Amino acid sequence: MPTSNIQLYSFPTPNGRKVSIALEELELEYDAHRVDILERDQFTPEFIAVNPNSKIPAITDPNGPDGKSIHIMESGAILTYLARKTGKLMPSEPRLQSETEQWLHFQMGGVGPMFGQFGHFYKYAGEKCDHPYPEQRYRNEVRRLLGVLDTRLEGTDYLVGDQYTIADIATFPWIGCIEWGYAAWDHIGVNEFKNVVAWHRRCEEKPASVRGAGVCVTN
């Protein structure tokens, strides 16, 4: 039977959590479909039809901007689409919109890739690469990025002042992943970045964040 719900295709990685948390925060009706990347579900023809790049998350909105169904890939693009669709999680003032977009792209171009590379070499690549350089390089970059965030969050609740936006939702799951994904909280020294720790807790404890983190955990 046709549905008007957004269809979410995801897996509980930091990128996957971004979108489920946003959907919960926005109180949008959606159906969640687990795409198990450990079982290579992302390479099935059915998923490639939604995202030709074979990466989670992706969504299908049966009520797109022109009233027709639309597939959307890339977590940052999905968050931006949902913010525009609802008029929420994005400031209305142009300067603050620009700041939100800048910090969203900071996550997409910096935090996600660098944290991910650190996690790969720290947790997963031990048998293939025993040289210390890659892990040290990405650990140093993770700490540098945490420093940028810590400075940004000095004296403010969120990345764009007192407004909780898609920039926060895009970024804070990657902070948590240092612990729940890589078991490297102490190795990185996250507690040294007091503003980041407080902000992460503030975001993580939101009811929508708790609900969104549990989406697609099991079939």
Judge if the upstream peptide bond of residue 57 is cis by omega within 30 degrees of 0. yes
User: What pLDDT does 3 receive?
Assistant: 80
φ/ψ bin of 44: left (φ > 0), alpha (ψ from -120 to 50), beta (otherwise):
beta
CB 33 within 8 A of CB 7: yes
Query: What CATH architecture is 6-89?
Result: 3-Layer(aba) Sandwich (3.40)
Look at residue 173 in the predicted model and tell me its pLDDT. Answer: 98
What pLDDT score does 1 carry?
55
Per-residue pLDDT at 130: 83
Range(s) within the chain of domains with CATH label 1.20.1050.10: 94-207
What residue spans in the chain does CATH classification 3.40.30.10 cover?
A: 6-89
Quick check: 14 and 200 in contact, CB under 8 A?
no
Please work out, in degrees rounded to the nearest 5, the angle formed at the alpha carbon of residue 206 by the alpha carbons of 180 and 164: 105
pLDDT at 2: 67
Amino acid letter at 44?
T
CATH code matching the domain that covers 94-207, chosen among 1.20.1250.20, 1.20.1050.10, 1.10.10.10, 3.40.50.720: 1.20.1050.10
Locate all alpha helices (DSSP H) within 153-216, ordered by sequence. 166-180, 185-188, 194-204, 207-213
Q: What is the pTM (predicted TM-score) of this model? A: 0.96
Q: What is the pLDDT of residue 36?
A: 96
Instruction: Give per-10-residue mean pLDDT for the chain (219 aa).
Output: 88 97 98 96 96 98 95 98 97 97 98 97 86 94 98 98 97 98 97 98 98 90
The span from the CA of 191 to the CA of 208, in Å, is: 25
